[in-house]
Amino acid sequence: MNTKLEQELNRNLEGYSTHVDTWHPEDIDTFLMLGAREWLQENLTLLSSAQRQALSISDNKVSALLKADYREDYADQVTVLGWVADVINGKNMPPSRVA
What pLDDT was estimated at residue 97? 54
pLDDT at 49 over 60: yes
pLDDT, residue 69, reads 86
Model confidence, pTM? 0.83
d(CA 11, CA 3): 12
> Is it the case that residue 98 has pLDDT exceeding 80?
no
Q: Which residues of 26-39 are buried (b: 16+ CB within 10 A; e: fewer)?
A: eeeebeebbbbbbb
Residue ranges of the domains in the chain?
3-22+29-88
**pLDDT tens across 2-13, in order?**
899 999 999 999
